[in-house]
Amino acid sequence: MSTIRLTMVHTKYNLLETARVPIAIIGGLVFPALSLMFFVVPQRAVANDPVFATQAVISLAVFALLVNSLFGFGLNISEAREKPWDPYLRTLPAPGICRVLAQVFSTGALGLVSILPVIVIGALFTEASAPAWRVIVGMVALAIAALPFMFLGICIGYSMPSKAAIAVVQVVMFALAFGGGLFLPPFLFADWLNTLSQFLPSRHAREFVIWAVQGGDLEPWVWIGILFWTIASLALALFLFRRDEGRRYR
């Protein structure tokens, strides 16, 4: 019980700390909504088509989670490694799991908040639609497909200082967003780009959530890709985490 209470306390102050530098949230909250407004809503060919519009909304929801995971984990971890506040928190009578879960919850909460405007704008200004239960299934699929983003954020956080992390997070974010068909739908891609795209976790997440919301066939490369990226990025994150423990104490 007290572990849950302390996890909530840590989550609250994590969020409070993030909220004090609003620019940090703007990237995560406003950017996906703005992208939908500028890229999708004016293109009536897409916006007026229920299937394409829904796919565009899903793409930008995936993008929202991608941004939040990379920034939330990548930047926070690399900054925490540079500051002695985290070691101090470890001297308080709270189990370590509280701090880890708090990081997941606060990033998750911001991710959820950043999806809402995308869904609202999608529902109001485009023909995107889905039954309520499909939306919920889509959310669950989104949470699963976002695991590699989270682990990649952790990898970035543990492998470089925060100034480098800012740049790398942005490059990775845009590469995955464009390459994964989150901004432009993959049917507009050249063949070579489409092939490349099928190896990216952002493309897997997009196809997986579209399948969860709209139904249809799930290509094997999608779920194999998600499985591969989850395991590979988790393994790398654990490796970097362990290596960091040794380095920090030198």
Partner 1 sequence: MTTLAALDHVTRRYGDVLAVDDVSLEIEAGTILGLLGPNGAGKTTVISLIQGLRRPTSGTVTLFGGNPADARNRQSLGSTPQETALPTTLRVGEVIDFVGAHFADRVPTPQLATEFGLESMLRRQTGSLSGGQKRRLNVALAFVGHPKLVLLDEPTTGLDVDARHTLWNALRSQHERGATVVVTSHYLEEIEALAQRVVVMGEGRILADDTLRGVLDQVGLRWVRLESADLAGIGALPGVVRVEPGSGSSATLFVRDSDAFVTALVRSGIAFRHLAVRGATLEEAFLTLTAGADAAVTEAV
Give the residues lining the site for partner 1 (CB under 8 A): 6, 9, 13, 16-17, 20-21, 83-85, 87-88, 90-96, 246, 249-250
Nearer to partner 1, 22 or 215 (CB): 22
Would the CA dihedral through 63, 69, 70, 71 be positive or negative? Answer: positive
CB 207 within 8 A of CB 182: no
Between CA 84 and CA 21 the distance in angstroms is: 20
CA terminus-to-terminus distance, the chain: 36
Least distance from C-beta 106 to partner 1, angstroms? 13
Shortest separation between residue 92's beta carbon and partner 1, angstroms: 4
In the bound complex, what is the minimum distance in angstroms from residue 247's beta carbon to partner 1? 10
Q: Which is nearer to partner 1, 18 or 233 (CB)?
A: 18
Nearer residue to partner 1 within complex by CB, 72 or 117? 72
Closer Cβ to partner 1, 9 or 164, answer by number:
9
Nearer to partner 1, 44 or 90 (CB): 90
User: Residue 206, CB half-sphere, CA atoms under 13 Å: how many?
Assistant: 27
d(CA 175, CA 171): 6
Per the structure block, which two tokens stand in for 89? 């928190």
The CB-of-109 to partner 1 minimum distance in angstroms stands at 17
- Are 186 and 203 within 8 A, CB to CB? yes
- Beta carbon of residue 20, minimum distance to partner 1 (angstroms, whole number): 3
For residue 187, the 8-state DSSP code is: G
Residue 184: DSSP 8-state: S
Question: What DSSP character marks residue 199?
Answer: T
Q: Could you tell me which of 46, 29, 38, 44 has the C-alpha nearest to residue 185?
A: 46
Indicate the residue among 80 and 104 with the shorter CB distance to partner 1: 80
| CB-nearer residue toward partner 1: 8 or 135 | 8
CA dihedral sign of residues 214, 35, 62, 6: negative
Rounded least distance, CB 1 to partner 1, Å: 12
- Least separation, in Å, of the C-beta of 143 and partner 1? 28
Residue 190 main-chain phi, psi, to 5 deg: -70, 160
Distance CA 214, CA 115 (A): 18
